[in-house]
A and B are shown apart, each in its own frame.
Chain A
Amino acid sequence: MQTILLRQMQKGQSGTIQAVKVGGELGRRIREMGLIPGTQITIHGRAPLNDPVAIRVMNGTLTLRNSEADYIQVEVE
């Protein structure tokens, strides 16, 4: 078990969100999409230029920029 940033996760890797370290509009957008501590996520893929990243969460697919993923800490196996 170790905690890494969402940006560092590999394609296909799964993990549980530990913390979302950002407030304001970005923080709220991230949270309202279901990215809150305790949520299971899987990296679905990355765009052709490696950014943004697409993740599977709660039965849906979300995409966010790497710069936004940097605020999300994930606990991985």
Chain B
Amino acid sequence: MTSQSIIALAGNPNAGKTTLFNQLTGARQHVSNYPGITVDHKEGHLEHKGTGVIITDLPGTYSMTAYSVEELVARDYLISHRPDTVINIVDASNLERNLYLTCQFLELGVPLVIALNMIDVARDRGIEIKAEKLSELLGVPVVPIIARSGFGKEQLLDEALAIASQRRQWHPRDISYGDDLDAAIADLMTTIESSSFLDKEYPPRYTAIKYLENDEQILQKGRDTDLTTATRLENIVNKVCEHTVKTLDVYPEAIIADHRYGFIKSILRQGVVTHKFDTDRLYTSDRIDKVLTNRLVGPVIMLAVLFGVYQFTFAWSELPVAWLENFFGWLSTRVDGILPDGQLKSLVISGIIDGVGGVLGFVPLIMFMFFSIAILEDTGYLARVAYMMDRVFRTFGLHGSSVMPFIVSGGIAGGCAVPGVMATRTLRSPKERMATLLTVPFMNCGAKMPVLALLIGAFFSENKARYMFLFTMLAWIVALLAAKLLRSTVLRGAPTPFVMELPPYRFPTVRGLLIHTWERTWQYIKKAGTVILGISVLLWAMMTFPQLPAERLAGFDRERQTVTAGYPATVVAELEQDAGELSSRAAELAGQLTAIGRRQSEEALRHSAAGRIGTAIESVSHLAGFDWRTNIALLGGFAAKEVIISTLGTAYSMGDVDIEAADSLGDRLRKAENWNRVVAVAALVFIMFYAPCFVTVVCIAREASWRWAFFSMGFNTVFAFVLAVAVFQVGTFLGLG
């Protein structure tokens, strides 16, 4: 390898940027997050005619303002990393709009090559573009390409590397913004140049334009670096603003946008673009839209598609999930046989294997979900879903795109909040995304279902189906209202502009789908995996330690001996031999010993850290009708909601309760004096809405921050408790128990 070049890939969303990136780098790419935010940082390597190339895929943006994280990331990357070349990919079939971003690259002066993508689509639409002419007028190389097929990619790299090898200075292009603004820009530049203001980072003219555009990030940076100059600049800008508002009734930023488009039009009109036939004719994409976004048929098809995604994610992944479960079950059995009884074995099986199994158990779900979402995203249908659902979700301060995470999390009962939380990535509006992220765990996921089934089966067996449906509806209502609550309190603020492109329908490439799916899944395994394992071990320790004191253990042993002593030696021997079919006497003894063992487990659980917490908070939890047993089970539910059943089983001396056959536990609860219908409903409400399981919490931390993850735990628990107390108190007052 003789030399190394750094190339950045930039362009509008939907211009084919990712397709080109995949085409150029293949599997040699690496995805990570920019620190602190969820914008993907994609980097790939390739070699072209002896030159090593590191290529960075910048987030897709329409512009280079400072409003969204994507835009900030793209801009900061260009300023701080100064790539040798920027490849600006533009959609040939929508050239005018795409060149708006190009204009801003020209003004910044980055070394630029334009990749004129989808010339085939443009040609089909009767649009002919003269690349040489465009190149001549813009003063940068323009290479026609078809990213999907790889056409033109060699020439593109030739041009990009030719520019990179020059390692030339940045050459900002001047665009005229009309008399008023040009005068102001000259004024601003004089001040900027005389005090070398921000000149390490931005060309003076660029800074001047950003001041006129009222760009928050640069204004702030200016104030932090050199307050006097910054104030002088702001004063000049204010004066111009006043003037343009008075004479033209517009702000400078509007004038700037107008002139940029004017500049683009003036170039395109010089024989760059020719239309062979009427541009207004209906394209295939519009014909598809006539059906898919039709007022009547559209929503029906959408429901079917969403249901399909749901089915695909949860039903089709059942098989690989079962393989994983079997594998870990087999592993546990093996370890059970190899290791001697004791704490180490308990740690390995209940802490580590269950923990790793817990991490990997979600992998098929996440893969299947991201695969189906990738299809919807890449075809362009997801934007239509947002378009159709927006009116509904906006009422609750959310976004049309929120529907997918809700469905996946359990909007159709039985989903999972882990892929649901990860699905919020498709949302680009920060506040709406956060509100979605924090409320999807309210939905009835697959792990809550057996718990709901148990309690409903035990206390409302006559109307099981109806109650299950009611509780699914309740989850929707509560989640949406909670979103509204969050959006009017901690996430208060005007809605993020919805203005969005409905990209033409396209066939996704299999390669793109696979890369996309794998990236997301790997990120989950890598980032969430370690934390989840750690917490799993911690929870195991809380439910195990401190252990029963020696005299209590001895007490249980004595009890066993006393019971055993009451039986003849032959019966005891029969039991020890473990010979399968037992005689009635031996079975009786075995039953008594099991009962002692279960009482011991119950006492050990109560003695453990989790048990002590459960007992300690009884004074508060009884407001909702929960005793210490329920409390421990709910603590256990933090590991995974279905654990509530097994913990409740242990706490009621039932031994290990099988989730699939929890009827006996249901009977036991119905007979327990602390339980009645009101308590059951209070518990149901609490279980549905309290802190998400820790895998979800870790995912929230990864997608947002640990602060939001802790907020989610605290907020949900308090919220759920208030609801449960209300149910219990009102229900008890009305004597419904």
Contact = CB atoms under 8 A, between A and B. Distances in A.
Nearest to A53: B387
Contact of B390 (A30, A38, A52): A52
A5 interface: no
A49 B390 CA distance: 9
B574 interface: no
Interface in A8-45: 19-20, 23, 25-34, 36-39, 42, 44-45
Interface in B375-403: 383, 387-388, 390-392, 394, 400
Nearest to B101: A32
A47 B502 CA distance: 12
B502 A54 contact: yes
A52 B100 contact: no
B147 to A, nearest CB: 17
B501 A33 contact: yes
Interface string B491-531: 00000111111111000000000000000000000000000
Interface in B440-497: 496-497
Contacts of B285: 61
Contact of A20 (B93, B254, B400): B254
Given A25-B497, A59-B94, A48 B298 contact: yes
Contacts, number: 126
Contacts of A32: 62-63, 65, 100, 257
A60 B498 contact: no
Contacts of A70: none
Contacts of A25: 67, 496-497
Interface residues of B, number: 46
B261 A36 contact: yes
Contact of B93 (A44, A50, A59, A63): A59
Contacts of A50: 391
A45 B93 CA distance: 21
Interface in B67-89: 67
B286 interface: yes
Interface string A58-77: 11111111001000000000
B499 A33 contact: yes
A65 B92 CA distance: 27
Contacts of A27: 251, 253-254
Interface in B609-651: none
B257 A59 contact: no
Contacts of A45: 289, 293
A27 B392 CA distance: 24
Contacts of B251: 23, 27
B96 A58 contact: yes
B253 A63 contact: no
A63 B67 contact: no
B387 A63 contact: yes
B96 A29 contact: no
B280 A49 contact: no
B329 interface: no
Given A26-B497, A32-B62, A48 B96 contact: no
A1 to B, nearest CB: 20
Given A32-B62, A36-B257, A54-B293, A68 B499 contact: yes
Contact of A62 (B125, B127, B253, B499): B499
A49 B501 contact: no
Nearest to B122: A59
A3 B393 CA distance: 31
Contacts of B500: 62-64
B698 to A, nearest CB: 32
A59 B261 contact: no
Contacts of B65: 28, 32
Q: Looking at A36, A45, A59, which has the most chain B CB atoms within 10 Å of its CB? A: A59
Contact of B97 (A33, A42, A63): A33
A58 B12 CA distance: 15
A51 B391 CA distance: 6
Contact of A48 (B95, B295, B504): B295
A31 B97 contact: no
B501 A62 contact: yes
A59 B392 CA distance: 29
Nearest to A49: B391
A37 to B, nearest CB: 7
A31 B254 contact: yes
A49 B257 CA distance: 32
Interface in B36-90: 62-63, 65, 67
B498 A64 contact: yes
Contacts of A58: 94, 96-97
Nearest to B279: A59
Contacts of B501: 33, 60-63
A50 B388 CA distance: 9
A33 to B, nearest CB: 6
A19 B495 CA distance: 22
Interface of A: 19-20, 23, 25-34, 36-39, 42, 44-52, 54, 57-65, 68
Given A19-B249, A58-B97, 8 more contacts: A29-B497, A31-B253, A31-B257, A34-B100, A36-B258, A52-B390, A54-B387, A59-B96
17 contacts: A23-B254, A25-B496, A27-B254, A29-B62, A33-B62, A33-B97, A34-B97, A36-B258, A37-B258, A38-B258, A44-B289, A46-B295, A48-B293, A48-B391, A54-B293, A59-B125, A68-B497
Shortest beta-carbon contacts, A-B, top 3 = A49-B391, A31-B257, A32-B63
